[in-house]
Amino acid sequence: MAQGSIQGSLKERGVRLTRQRQILLDLIDKSGSHLDAERLFQLAQEQDPKINRVTVYRTLKMLKTGGLVDELDLMHHEGDQHYYETRLKQEHAHVICLRCGKVEEFFGEPLSRLRKQVETHLGYQVLIARTEIGGYCAHCQTLRAREFDELRGRPPEPPKTSEETERKPRAAAPKPRARRA
């Protein structure tokens, strides 16, 4: 438990540090990033099998409202879940490959420049800034070119924006979740 920034911040606000929250904060903090609620729930379950999905959602909501984590959707590349990452890192954009799903982070001055311009030109007090960029990574560009070559003869495809790879199955396991009656 090396990290104390989030936990400290919570303690200051009089938020109780329950066992469940400890687990969740730990996971959020040590995971590189980009966990969605369901994944976080699965990981938490490994440490406490009785933890409830609702607790995960409630904790995430609290952290988000408190400005301690940011919510991303990563271009909805593999579903409509949201992803979360701590706010500790430097501002960055997320770059998502629409073919293989890889997510990279981009740090650079255009981001801070953008923020400053919005503050000065529009007079805003900026609290959150989120940039998500979708495209094809270098590797997938060549793969796409190859796939295209193999189609020679057929009518050229309309320039699809995404969705051109068959949607891969959601996650490792088919995610069987309690269904409604």
Partner DNA sequence: TTTTTTGCAAACAGTTTGCAGCACA
Partner DNA sequence: TGTGCTGCAAACTGTTTGCAAAAAA
Q: For a copy of itself, which is the closer residue by CB, 51 or 143? A: 143
Q: How far is the CB of 123 from a copy of itself (least distance, A)?
A: 4
Note whether 134 and 96 are within 8 A (CB).
Answer: yes
> Looking at beta carbons only, is 43 or 114 nearer to a copy of itself?
114
CA distance 83 to 38: 10
Nearest to a copy of itself of 32, 123 (CB atom): 123
Residue 23: name its binding partner from a copy of itself, DNA, none (Cβ under 5 to 8 Å by kind).
Answer: none
Q: Which of 49, 55, 35, 77 is closest to 164 using CA atoms?
A: 77
Smallest gap from Cβ 46 to a copy of itself, in A, equals: 28
Q: What are phi and psi of 29, to 5 degrees?
A: -75, -40
Residues contributing to the site for a copy of itself (CB under 8 A): 13, 64-67, 71, 73, 75-76, 93, 95, 97-98, 104, 106, 108, 110-111, 113-115, 117-118, 121-138, 141, 158-163
Instruction: Give the three-state DSSP class for 35.
Output: strand
Q: How far is the CB of 167 from DNA (least distance, A)?
A: 8
Q: Which residues pair with 69 in a beta bridge?
A: 86
d(CA 69, CA 14): 18
